[in-house]
Structure 1
Amino acid sequence: MPDAALGPLRPTDDDARAQARDLIDTARFAALGVLSDGVPMVSRVALATDACGTPVSLISDLALHTAALRATPACSLLLGEPGAKGDPLTHPRLTLQARAEFIARDSADHPRLRARYLDLRPKSALYLDFADFNFVRFVPAAAMLNGGFGRAFHLTPADLAPRG
């Protein structure tokens, strides 16, 4: 039962942390919310994680969301896909509030991130080295987990850290 002081939110527990982490680790795609000239815009991006478990994507300079992220790095990601059956709103989903950090091609981090991304998303080899594609890391500031009916949680960056 939710705590009255938290409103509809439950106190964050290890099950919520594990469910949020699983949504991050298994996400292949995300809905990316950005501000484009002050107007909200949402697009779909491919997703993986870096070695520290932080969400990353490979995005093109030709995409409108790339220019929006460069202008305003504050963004959000919605992770979690509806299952094949049942009401889509009963399936778990995680909204990450994050800050986008572009990874320069000449940075020490780029070769490691490139290798990991290729390992996790091998089909990206078709375009990964195109000059207009860049890695962007989404550093979480906070998150909201909807783990199903009556299971809503606020999570901190520490709550989202990989376990182990």
Structure 2
Amino acid sequence: MEIERKWMVTGWPEGLPLEEEFTMRQGYISVQPTVRIREEALTGGSTDYILCFKSAGGLAREEIERSIDKDLFVQLEEKIIGKPLIKKVRRSYRLPDGAVLEVNHVDEGLPTAFWYAEVEYPTVEAALRWQPEACGLAAYLNDEVTNQPGQSMGAYWVQTRG
């Protein structure tokens, strides 16, 4: 189960310790249900290839992720004919309360580029209780889009590559 809240943001947050950074490429085999492939290259580290299935939903939804080898990733990427994968840079920051803020810059340099942030939670109750003000992020996380239709990366895929 994936339980997360999402905000539209502008730029990287200031004053938070950076934990890690990934450069990613991802594409969608299907958006209903979500079937996604992703290449994740950890800055200064390894590259992983992931196949992901997600159910419909907003705050909470089922998610199954499995590592795949590079050859299978390339084969699946070739099935997404004529559609360039979405490029993302993700930075993770440890918050004062122990939660992790993931900030993503999507399709940098393209007219459709944008930024968003997510925080994952262990339970729905914890997600509903958590407030950005408690971590000094009220101004940064002021545009929540968690349950708004059309705010998923799958919807962005359809809008820009569909």
Decide: shared fold, TM above 0.5.
no
Mark the structure with the bigger radius of gyration: 1
Greater strand fraction, Structure 1 or Structure 2: 2
Give the alignment's TM-score, normalised by structure 2.
Answer: 0.29
Give the alignment's TM-score, normalised by structure 1.
Answer: 0.29
